[in-house]
Amino acid sequence: MTRLKTLFYSADKNILILRITCLFWLFAKLLSRRIWTANRLLPTVPVFEFLDRIPSIVHAVLFVSSVILLTLLLFTKNKALLISVLAIEIFLCLLDQNRALPWEYLYVFIIIVFIINANTPGYIMPAIILILASTYFYSGLCKLNEGFLHIVWGNMILHAFLKIPVAMVGKTWIYYLGYLLGVIELLLGIGLLVKKMRLASVVLLIFLHLLILVFLGPLGLRGYRVLWPWNLSMIFFLLIILFCTTPEPDDIKSITKGWNKLIILCWVVLPAFSFWGLWDHNLSSNLFSANLPRMVICVNDTSKCRDLKRFISKRDIEGTCEGNAKIDLHVWAFIETGVAAYPEMRTYRIIQKKLEQKYTAAGLSFVYLSR
């Protein structure tokens, strides 16, 4: 522990934050590389319709350019490189909203923090702390719903991971104990902003991320590998906060100065509007909440869309498709790209339109589900 503390104190904390961001961003991008290209079956969902005319080679070139620039930033801190990375990432997400993943959004904003505070490096760490605090707060708040209790807490954690019998999981006190996870996470997020609570909050959050890595890793459900580097990066961010910083209240107030107000707007104010459907879930730290809208594709004639057969679910417990073949869009996206589809109705409708045009003879019908 002493050596680790010495290592962190001896380094420039801002440089460490930047390098950790770029390193684990690279890992995440490589694990989800199919989502960053247009050569896939899952339709792209551009923000503006005219962007559909951009050739697929442009997607690939932008992705490769992003990987190269992130690699360069591991070795040098250069404002021109930061701006280039930011521009490329924004354009990639404009070309396909499916790329605006929660971890992508967080990493993009870390780059923004470095750009807007290029001449005031002392403001960088307080802004990062606010982003992390908001992530945990809204992630915890979004988990306070029945969908999280049933799907994530009951089915995934208690039954699939801990092997607790279904009869035991169904007991009222065990079932509703799941709400504690959300409450604890949001309180720890608040704790990052309070000097007297910061040490305990950091330690407990690191422990939480280690549990998540066990839960999703080779010893657990072995799912969603793209979240492994994100959880590791969050652990390193927390270690830097623990060993490298002791921000006083006045330092935290620096986020109200200049362009740092953008951080408050996008990470404190706007995510609250997601509860009324006025801001996107992926931009609001809605993580493992199980209350996101879904789209199910029912296929009448699978012989007319043979390339989609590997995404067809063998079971339709909900009876959504009334005996027809069923494709859950999120399952499709996860199998093909390693990430989930962007969970908004407007993106689902664009995907529906494209699939209807491509598979006109398959007799597709679409069902929208909300938790």
Question: Minimum mean pLDDT among 194-203, 273-282, 307-316: which range?
Answer: 307-316
Higher pLDDT, 241 or 20: 20
Q: How many CB atoms lie within 10 A of CB 174?
A: 14
pLDDT for 4 equals 47
How many percent of the chain have pLDDT more than 70?
93
pLDDT for 170 equals 85
pLDDT for 160 equals 87
Residue 76's pLDDT band (boundaries 50, 70, 90)? confident
Question: Minimum mean pLDDT among 22-31, 102-111, 132-141, 247-256: which range?
Answer: 247-256
Hey, which residues does 364 pair with through a beta bridge?
Answer: 299
Residue 315's pLDDT band (boundaries 50, 70, 90)? confident
Name the nearest CA neighbour of 110 among 80, 93, 130.
Answer: 130
d(CA 356, CA 339): 23
Residue 249's pLDDT band (boundaries 50, 70, 90)? very low
d(CA 150, CA 165): 14
d(CA 191, CA 284): 19
pLDDT tens-digit profile of 214-240?
998 877 777 788 999 999 999 999 999
pLDDT for 253 equals 72
Q: For 189-195, what is the mean pLDDT?
A: 92
d(CA 369, CA 162): 28
pLDDT tens-digit profile of 251-304?
667 788 889 999 999 999 999 999 999 999 999 999 988 889 999 999 999 999
Residue 82's pLDDT band (boundaries 50, 70, 90)? very high
pLDDT for 9 equals 44
pLDDT for 371 equals 62
Say whether pLDDT at 6 is over 80: no
Residue 319's pLDDT band (boundaries 50, 70, 90)? confident
pLDDT tens-digit profile of 141-182?
999 999 999 999 999 999 888 889 988 988 888 999 999 999
pLDDT tens-digit profile of 332-352?
999 999 999 999 999 999 999
Residue 314's pLDDT band (boundaries 50, 70, 90)? confident
Say whether pLDDT at 128 is over 90: yes
Say whether pLDDT at 99 is over 50: yes
Residue 7's pLDDT band (boundaries 50, 70, 90)? very low
pLDDT for 247 equals 55
How many percent of the chain have pLDDT more than 90?
75
Higher pLDDT, 12 or 183: 183
Say whether pLDDT at 8 is over 50: no
Residue 10's pLDDT band (boundaries 50, 70, 90)? very low
